Amino acid sequence: MNTLSLLLRFPHYRFLRKISFKSFHSNFTPGSLFPYIQSFNSVCLYCTKWMLPASDLKRGMCYQATVDQQTQGLCDKEQRLVDKLYSGLIQGHRACLAEAITLVESTQSRKKEIAQVLIQKVLSYHREQEKLNKGKPLAFRVGLSGPPGAGKSTFIECFGKMLTERGHKVSVLAVDPSSSTSGGSLLGDKTRMTELSRDMNAYIRPSPTRGTLGGVTRTTNEAILLCEGGGYDIILVETVGVGQSEFAVADMVDMFVLLLPPAGGDELQGIKRGIIEMADLVAITKADGDLVVPARRIQAEYVSAMKLLRKRSKVWRPKVMRMSAKTGEGISDMWDKMTEFHDLMLTSGELITKRRKQQKVWMWNLIQENMLDHFRSHLAVRDKIPLLEEKVLSGVLAPGLAADLLLKAFKDRP
Residue ranges binding ligand GTP (CB under 6 A): 146, 148-154, 240, 285-286, 288, 291, 324-326
Residue 220 · residue 212 · CB < 8 Å: no
CA dist 248 → 22, 116, 204 (Å): 11, 21, 20
Task: Please state, as a whole number, how many other Cβ atoms lie within 10 Å of the Cβ of residue 316.
Answer: 17
- Alpha carbon 177 to its chain centroid, in Å, reads 12
Q: Closest separation between CB of residue 120 and ligand GTP, Å?
A: 34
Q: Residue 95: enclosing H or E segment and its boundaries?
A: helix 94-105
Q: Closest separation between CB of residue 285 and ligand GTP, Å?
A: 6
3-state secondary structure of 293: helix
Nearer to ligand GTP, 244 or 324 (CB): 324
Nearer to ligand GTP, 104 or 325 (CB): 325
Q: Closest separation between CB of residue 105 and ligand GTP, Å?
A: 21
Q: Closest separation between CB of residue 180 and ligand GTP, Å?
A: 18
C-alpha torsion 142→146→152→155, nearest 10: -70
3-state secondary structure of 318: coil
* C-alpha to C-alpha distance for 94 and 274, rounded to whole angstroms: 36
Nearer to ligand GTP, 272 or 411 (CB): 272
Residue 231 · residue 92 · CB < 8 Å: yes
Task: Please state, as a whole number, how many other Cβ atoms lie within 10 Å of the Cβ of residue 302.
Answer: 21
Q: Closest separation between CB of residue 395 and ligand GTP, Å?
A: 37
Nearer to ligand GTP, 107 or 181 (CB): 181
User: What are 145's strand-pairing partners?
Assistant: 239, 258
Q: Closest separation between CB of residue 300 and ligand GTP, Å?
A: 19
Q: Closest separation between CB of residue 209 and ligand GTP, Å?
A: 15
Strands (E), 82-184: 140-145, 170-176
Nearer to ligand GTP, 119 or 150 (CB): 150
Nearer to ligand GTP, 146 or 230 (CB): 146
Nearer to ligand GTP, 156 or 227 (CB): 156
* C-alpha to C-alpha distance for 280 and 188, rounded to whole angstroms: 28
Nearer to ligand GTP, 8 or 150 (CB): 150
- Which residue blocks in 166-285 are alpha helix, DSSP H? 179-182, 186-189, 194-198, 213-215, 221-229, 245-250, 273-278
Q: Closest separation between CB of residue 204 and ligand GTP, Å?
A: 13
* C-alpha to C-alpha distance for 6 and 118, rounded to whole angstroms: 30
